[in-house]
Structure 1
Amino acid sequence: MHDTHETHETHNAHDTNDTHGTHGELFAAVFGGADDTLVRLLRADPAGCVAALDGEGRTALYAAAVGDRPSAVRLLLAAGADPGRACGEGGADLPLCGAASGGHTEVVRALLAAGAEPDLREAYGFTAVAWAAVQGFAETLEALLEGGAGPDLPGPGGERPLVLAARRGSAAAVRALLRHGAGAADPGGREAALAEARHWLGRDVERELREGLAAAYGDGFETVVRRTVADGAETVAVELLRDGTPVAGRAAGTGHAAVATVLEAALGVRAGYEELARRALRCRDPERDDWREAVAALVALPVEETFQVAAVWCRSDDEWRRTLGADVLAELPAGAGGRSRALEAVRAVAAALTAPGPPGLVGAVVRALARHGGRPGDVARYAGHPDPEVRRLVANAPPLAAEQALGTLIALTKDLDPVVRRTAVAALAATDAAEQRVREALARRLRDGDDGVAAEAAAGLARRGDDRAVAALARLLARAAPEGAAWARAREAVALIPRGPERSALERVPGRRR
């Protein structure tokens, strides 16, 4: 666990008043994202700007890298800045490491493209990969490894990146390293990472962080704890404050169960059903890596045995164990255990639900019904669930596209949640139904406030040869964010328009200026 205030990110808020005289404007432009000013200064004195140092001996390129200013980084590199130039006290700081420590993936890619050496070390033995691993930045790791960085080069204390990512509790970072061969040529490397993950299983991460900070800095500080959940993982950050000012901090993920499960799969180690269940049930969140990886591992076990275990869990008195059982059934191959038996198990769970039902359990039931051939009515009954994710799952379930359920699907195209509407419109557009009520339902969404919804509706009408798609696509191509999902979908839909003047005109519509 590393102190967050000892990373490069500390310098994001560096006081520009400390910069050397005439270069104050340069660093202010970098920190403030004033690219027009930076361009003017670079035109006037490119060599001077590239060579300039702030009051702590750091270059403008380093400042842009740690401040996550990719446009400034590119401007400075174009002006001749050396992407591998170390700076700071004793030449301890490298731009690539600064960017990696903050998870600034676009900056990392720009520096690598300009020739930055991916495996250079800076102070305390850190490489860029070690920084990204210890902070759990999976996308940044991908960029570094794709750029030629070694997946097994040791970081501080001789620890491999796989061990650092495992300690962080980041399953995504571990997966990124494994994809690039981490530990494959390092005897015992993956086993060491697995041992690290298992060491943290069941431990109270917040308490460990608190105790570590107390041992390092003593008592007498105000303590602030922040928990954030994103992309299937939770991060716990503990900060020490004195008079409201941060003094030190440490952060870690809580996905050690997911990390252990991922590494076990890589090593061919089989965890038992109850152990995997414990890992999922400990987090009680079907959207978290700890749950999802456990389900994936369960589904990889012998199908019939797994079906039998999941069916037993579906009859449990515990809501979360029933959720896990239904979730496992939803991931098993269609017809696993015999289609009628699978449906019987899921319908038994559904029958025991009291409306509206817990979102996680209902969502698992909907997906399992869809996987194993549930009737349209089995799924449609949940279309009014208060949780939008459940309604999205309902809209996306194949049984709802059946003729007898089209009314429910059409109703979901008017949902208040744009993601639900987008899913329902896309599902309706993909059906083979050509009847008038389907066309009219799609036409009503052509001017939806969400461009993604409108693009799906236009694609559905274009597929049916409905002329109303043409004007809608022209409008979307002209106003939607260029290269965004809605713009791209509209472009795809143009190909559904018959060749002729209208299609040619659409192909020439200029995108909105950035």
Structure 2
Amino acid sequence: MTNERTAGSDRARDELFSAVYDGRDDAVVALLRSGVPAEATDQDGQSALYAAAVSDEPGAVRVLLAAGADPERASGADGGDLPLCGAACGGHTEVVLALLAAGARTDRREAYGFTALAWAVGQGHADTVEALLAHGADPDLPGPGGGAPDGEPPLVTAARRGSPSTVRALLRHGAGARQEALAEARRWTAPEAVEHELHAELLPLAGEGDETVVRRIEEDGGVTVVVETLKDGAPVASLERQTGHAAITTLLEESLGVRTPFEELAGRALRCGVPGRDDWLEPVATLWRRGDEESCQAALAWCASDDPLRRAFAADVLGGLGPLFAGQALPPLRELCAGAQTPELIGASVTALGKLGKLGKLGKLEKPGRRGELDGLPQVLRHSGHPDAAIRRRVALALAGLVPGDHEDGLAALTALSADADDSVRRRATTALAGADADTTAIRTALAARLADPVAVTAAEAARGLAVRQDPRAVDALARMLADGSVTGHARETAADAVRRLPDAAVRRRLAGLLPRRR
């Protein structure tokens, strides 16, 4: 009888772990209600809570915690694994938040001296790092390694990892060891430095005849390099590292008060060569924050370069220096936009003109000049039909700041873009059209056409634009959105704002009282 009970208990325990791994939260609840303990462990001593944490199953984690599982209980054969550390290592932020809410201590160390923050920083999980720091994790508590007798400061680990987002999170929370981190970041800024080092680290693990492959993954504002060794086509070992070291160097220099010369900052961006990456964006942002005549003059000089990428960098800088330099920046930006051929230069010059146009629209320019001439509207309109959706998206954003209410060509371009095949272009053009200082039949028709847009936020922006114009077609559309439980986040907030703009108080009250449908 005892053996039967033990076998049944083992089966129930195995079923619990299977349910956790499969993400079957209802089954987890049923098994716990049937008597399977929340602190159940498998044959290796791993707890169900730890299994759920490392498997990124936040539902199962919450169920187990509610049933009494201890968030602080160590797991594994040697009792060296903490659920919080397991979740942080995988970047499972929702699980981390659930464990913290249940009382897990942020700075508790597990085997080999790792804390949850050390794991998250070492893996470049910036969102998890931010969550831990926001809940009191010590930004300077050393983790293992680094050759230091007391371990390595998190900022140094983040600098080596090459994750600008992680470095930003640590800096926001006052992390120290900035000089050491700067020295570490500078070690990795040379081209191919990361790949060469990863190859060297993997070499001792490779056997005779093993193959080495390199993968590059676009993520987190840059590129992650993954180097793997394969035996008969199957992975044997792998290492990875991000490559945002130039951006990190720029961030740390600015945090230390180092005034890096324009040419050096620009050189980092050009070595990156991709305007959307952090290694490009951080030098640009640093010069924006500097906002001085020296930066303006250096960027103006680069506008005459033969290299389109240099001109794109100059345009990015000039677009964000602010109203004091708008008079100097606008003429060369118009010229750059008019003659731009490469996507990088088109995008940079269009965006810059849009930013300065918004300054004029907000009355921040002392001499805004004649609309459509000084603000660069004709030059931006030249690119409204560009085949690249990313360019059309930038045009739509720029036109939001450039198009006056009486400019027929500008409004016509926004109307056309609001029907674009690309979701993001439609969304931005619809937002701009909704906020345009004009009310015409063509605008209302274009907005009404977007009320059933498959992108919820686009439909909500269209409804807002019609509500502002007191068009009754907004009412039914808003009723559908507010009653739809799948309309959440920014789309729901936009719809709620649209309701407040309706002229009829009774209709406003009726719509405000709608609840999402249960599915």
Is TM > 0.5 for Structure 1 vs Structure 2? yes
Secondary structure at the aligned position of 2:227 is classed as: strand
Alpha-carbon distance in structure 2 between the residues aligned to 1:63 and 1:178? 32
Question: 1:161 is matched with which residue?
Answer: 154
Secondary structure at the aligned position of 2:323 is classed as: coil
Question: 1:170 is matched with which residue?
Answer: 163
Secondary structure at the aligned position of 2:174 is classed as: coil
Alpha-carbon distance in structure 2 between the residues aligned to 1:480 and 1:458? 17
Alpha-carbon distance in structure 1 between the residues aligned to 2:462 and 2:184? 50
The answer to whether the 8 A contact 2:483-2:514 is kept is: yes
Q: Does 2:415 correspond to 1:410?
A: yes
Q: Deviations over 1:395-442 (max 9, x none)?
A: 122113442111111111111111111111111111221222221221
| Matched AA of 1:407 | A
Deviation for aligned residue 1:332: 1.2
Question: 1:346 is matched with which residue?
Answer: 333
Question: 1:458 is matched with which residue?
Answer: 463
Alpha-carbon distance in structure 1 between the residues aligned to 2:10 and 2:485? 44
Alpha-carbon distance in structure 1 between the residues aligned to 2:229 and 2:405? 58
Q: Which of residues 227, 246, 264 is equivalent to 1:257?
A: 246
Deviation for aligned residue 1:344: 2.0
Question: 1:359 is matched with which residue?
Answer: 343
Question: 1:498 is matched with which residue?
Answer: 503
Secondary structure at the aligned position of 1:149 is classed as: coil
1:55-454 to 2 correspondences below 5 Å: 55-157=43-145, 158-183=151-176, 189-204=177-192, 205-301=194-290, 303-336=292-325, 339=327, 341-353=328-340, 357-373=341-357, 374-397=375-398, 398-404=401-407, 405-454=410-459
Q: Deviations over 1:182-224 (max 9, x none)?
A: 11xxxxx110001000011114112221221013445532333
The answer to whether the 8 A contact 2:222-2:244 is kept is: yes
Question: 1:43 is matched with which residue?
Answer: 33
| Matched AA of 2:163 | S
Q: Deviations over 1:303-330 (max 9, x none)?
A: 2111111111111111211111111111
Structure-1-length-normalised TM-score: 0.91
Alpha-carbon distance in structure 1 between the residues aligned to 2:226 and 2:456? 37
Alpha-carbon distance in structure 1 between the residues aligned to 2:38 and 2:492? 38
| Matched AA of 1:399 | L
Deviation for aligned residue 1:500: 3.0
Q: Deviations over 1:336-388 (max 9, x none)?
A: 0x51x3222113323433xxx22221111112222344232121111111222
Q: Deviations over 1:423-468 (max 9, x none)?
A: 1111111122122222122112112222221111101111111111
Secondary structure at the aligned position of 2:476 is classed as: helix
Which segments of 5 or more consecutive residues in structure 1 lack a partner in the other structure?
A: 1-18, 184-188
The answer to whether the 8 A contact 1:394-1:400 is kept is: no
Alpha-carbon distance in structure 2 between the residues aligned to 1:503 and 1:380? 38
| Matched AA of 1:123 | A
Structure-2-length-normalised TM-score: 0.90
The answer to whether the 8 A contact 2:337-2:380 is kept is: no
Alpha-carbon distance in structure 1 between the residues aligned to 2:170 and 2:207? 36
Secondary structure at the aligned position of 2:107 is classed as: coil
Question: Is the alpha carbon distance of 1:231 and 1:489 closer, same or farther for their aligned partners in structure 2, counting shifts above 3 Å?
Answer: farther
The answer to whether the 8 A contact 2:330-2:376 is kept is: no
Secondary structure at the aligned position of 1:89 is classed as: coil
Alpha-carbon distance in structure 1 between the residues aligned to 2:96 and 2:268? 34
Which segments of 5 or more consecutive residues in structure 2 lack a partner in the other structure?
A: 1-8, 146-150, 358-374
Q: Deviations over 1:262-310 (max 9, x none)?
A: 1111111111111111110111111111100011122233521111111
Deviation for aligned residue 1:233: 2.2
Q: Deviations over 1:48-101 (max 9, x none)?
A: 432221232110100110111001000000000010111113111110000000
Alpha-carbon distance in structure 2 between the residues aligned to 1:390 and 1:401? 21
The answer to whether the 8 A contact 1:401-1:428 is kept is: no
More displaced 10-residue stretch of structure 1: 481-490 or 408-417:
481-490
| Matched AA of 2:31 | L
The answer to whether the 8 A contact 1:227-1:236 is kept is: yes
More displaced 10-residue stretch of structure 1: 323-332 or 431-440:
431-440
Alpha-carbon distance in structure 2 between the residues aligned to 1:403 and 1:394? 19
The answer to whether the 8 A contact 1:363-1:393 is kept is: yes
RMSD over equivalenced CA pairs, Å? 1.7
Determine what percentage of the aligned residue pairs are the same residue.
Answer: 55
Alpha-carbon distance in structure 1 between the residues aligned to 2:481 and 2:155? 45
Q: Matched residue pairs, number? A: 484
Alpha-carbon distance in structure 2 between the residues aligned to 1:347 and 1:366? 9
Secondary structure at the aligned position of 2:300 is classed as: helix
Deviation for aligned residue 1:499: 4.6
The answer to whether the 8 A contact 1:465-1:497 is kept is: yes
1:22-41 to 2 correspondences below 5 Å: 22-41=12-31
Question: Is the alpha carbon distance of 1:243 and 1:52 closer, same or farther for their aligned partners in structure 2, counting shifts above 3 Å?
Answer: farther
Deviation for aligned residue 1:129: 0.5
The answer to whether the 8 A contact 1:162-1:182 is kept is: yes
Q: Which has the higher contact order (CA 8 A, sep 6+)?
A: 1
Question: Is the alpha carbon distance of 1:233 and 1:380 closer, same or farther for their aligned partners in structure 2, counting shifts above 3 Å?
Answer: same
Secondary structure at the aligned position of 1:236 is classed as: strand
